[in-house]
A and B are shown apart, each in its own frame.
Chain A
């Protein structure tokens, strides 16, 4: 009984810390709208854009819950909650998202992908179960976005895991997030490996599902599915923002200069002070990446698609992914040759 209560309190406090970290996602989204205003423009000035999403969500929560005639009530109302819940284990695998480690072995890339697919499945069921023509169009768009987003992510994880298994610094678990974030990984890359990783990051960030109208990474654009209103719609919108933010935090965690910060913190004798600096530096870095780097990748990909108008977008993404994989394979061959030479 005591063990159960201890476990529950541990999960509850970690969950609260995760929720407060996830509020950062909404803040980052609002900073993006403030700096790159699209269709969400306030008559009262730019400063109101900082709270645009919060106000929209609160307004939507206060509206009456409406569903189309053809909707299946249980799935379209409660599955958004399950989709959002499936994001939480992914978020918990990032060590700085929970101050108390609740996944004792850290995250695993296979686990992260499984929960990502589970979360997408719940969200898709919620949208498709509305049973209207509008929901069918939205659902089909979500499937396309999910595939073109997940495939480069899987290719990236598999390539890095193959590289790490050749590097032999992982003690068997090549898919562990700790192995991915180890300074030995980024420190041992040659120039084509670095270019390959850069291309992967560009493809992943540019395929993060987002609105074409400058509304950021919310799921429904303004006026989309007007017959689906209420708390469940708000939860789906938050789910979409958190999905983007979690993936950005994950990629940032892998390539964050941990070695530099460890050397910087070496002078501090108080460990919690060094931990606090790491915590704030990391989340500040994630917000910067969300606001500037991801926007740059979105713009870069749309410029590429405009330049090669006759080539479909998924062909460009596939070619870039294949090129990045080829560069990582070159890196693996080079490392293997070095290892065999010794």
Chain B
């Protein structure tokens, strides 16, 4: 397994990051577990309890983002070849990064 990624441009110490993250996650989750277990969880009635659908009645910027998502992005994501296209684009980006000399000494 690659624990240390070193290129001409950056050095990433995956083992160090994962060590700190997993160690902290373990301790913090254990801290929550002890406190939750001690007190038990009580379920209370939420205000609505349902997911609120965006109805396009927000501010101007939100409307524009909503329209962009539904009119421009959604038709592409609904196409059957969407995942193949994504893989192809990623592969092209990978090839560009591999064969360009950017960042290499």
Contacts and interface: CB of A to CB of B under 8 A. Distances in A.
A231 B43 contact: no
A81 B29 contact: yes
Contact of A108 (B11, B48, B49, B105): B11
A214 interface: no
Given A105-B11, A136-B52, A173-B11, A235 B28 contact: yes
A283 interface: no
B39 A65 contact: yes
Contacts of B19: 7, 11, 102
Given A136-B51, A176-B10, A88 B21 contact: yes
Contact of A67 (B23, B31, B41): B41
A89 interface: yes
Contact of A77 (B13, B41, B46, B48): B41
A81 B34 CA distance: 12
- Interface size, A (range): 35 or more
B46 A231 contact: no
Given A115-B17, A132-B49, A65 B11 contact: no
B16 interface: yes
Contacts of B27: 15, 85
Interface in A73-108: 73, 77-78, 80-82, 84-86, 88-89, 92, 102-105, 108
Interface residues of B, number: 40
Nearest to A83: B28
Nearest to B33: A78
A69 B41 CA distance: 11
A104 B32 contact: no
B40 A15 contact: no
Nearest to B29: A81
B35 interface: yes
A82 B20 CA distance: 12
A231 B35 contact: yes
B40 A131 contact: no
Interface of A: 7, 11-12, 14-15, 61, 63-71, 73, 77-78, 80-82, 84-86, 88-89, 92, 102-105, 108, 110-111, 115, 130-136, 172-176, 227, 230-232, 235, 312, 314
11 contacts: A66-B43, A66-B44, A69-B43, A69-B45, A69-B46, A77-B32, A78-B33, A85-B25, A111-B12, A115-B21, A235-B28
